[in-house]
Amino acid sequence: MPLVPATGAGRYAPSPTGDLHLGNLRTALLAWLFARSSDRAFLMRMEDLDDRVDPASAQRQLTDLAALGIDWDGPVLYQSHRQETYQAELGKLLDAGLTFECFCTRREIHAAASAPHAPPGSYPGTCRDLTEQQRAERRATGRPPAVRLRTSATHCTVSDALHGRYTGVVDDFVIQRGDGTFAYNFVCVVDDLATEVDQVVRGDDLLSSAPRQAYLASLLGHEPPRYAHVPLVLGPSGKRLAKRDGAVTMREIDAGPARLVALLARSLGLSNKEEITPQDLLGGFDPALLPHEPWTYLPGPLS
């Protein structure tokens, strides 16, 4: 059974590797506004398969989001609790002959010349058609193989609310790493399908991954979600906002939630007020009016 009613949903899916900074909070606010303004459910998912995960940060992240006025429907989904589901979905792909073992290191992949038909920068297909004897020889070296999706396309086009039609590379991407960890491009699709997420709002640094994920969703017999890849927040150096840029998390910035939401709203052209709540922004929210360029945050007193 699906984890939520069949009404469609948006979601926010942080990785609990530390406190959320302004860029994360801005994306969360936008994901909430996109979902609530379109009468969708809004789900919360913790992408906690990364080996850098700090268990305590998940609760801090949820606390900060709730303090800002961002609510969600149903229980929080933790990817670390869904290993059996991912294994079962991988098994379906294995049974259908849609995977293959790959023994390449990253260095070998980067050094290899791509096949003539493959897009630049894509997996060159080194292990795609190995014989069973060749696979046995590679296993004998002790190197555990990754599992890659055996694709039949080189590109896929998605529709994005801010970027329009975007065509990107679809190669034989990894769905399970050699250490057994399931890959982001695989688990996020499995989870979105299981929870009937049909709207994905996230940072535009992930736009290039959307074609691979949309292809996999289609391969599994589902319509890809509607995408909205939103601009990032940059630090004073012009690079993506990070902790090195000073006071960038909710706990570090000397302001109440309503002032912090107002700062984020001003950065998006949604309001000029000094204090506001997410609920206040819903009535006038129009995705077509959102900026397409990143916002540079300069730490200091909020004005």
**Identity of residue 301:** P
Widest CA span in the chain: 68
In this structure, what DSSP letter does residue 73 have? S
**Residue 206: CB atoms within 10 Å:** 14
Task: Give the tokens for residue 120.
Answer: 């630049």
Which segments are annotated as binding site for L-glutamate?
A: 11-15, 47, 184, 202
Which segments are annotated as binding site for Zn(2+)?
A: 102, 104, 123, 127
Q: With contact defined as beta carbons under 8 Å apart, do 223 and 198 qualify?
A: yes
Q: How far apart are CA 113 and CA 123, in angstroms?
A: 9
**Identity of residue 239:** K
Q: How far apart are CA 40 and CA 282, in angstroms?
A: 13
Which segments are annotated as binding site?
A: 11-15, 47, 102, 104, 123, 127, 184, 202, 243
Q: How far apart are CA 294 and CA 197, in angstroms?
A: 26
Name 219's Cβ contacts closer than 8 Å, sequence gap at least 6.
Answer: 98, 149
**Identity of residue 270:** L
Measuring CA to CA, which residue among 50, 44, 56 is closest to residue 15?
50
Which segments are annotated as binding site for ATP?
A: 243
Q: How far apart are CA 159 and CA 227, in angstroms?
A: 7
Q: For the chain, give percent helix, strand, coil, nearest 5.
A: 35, 20, 45
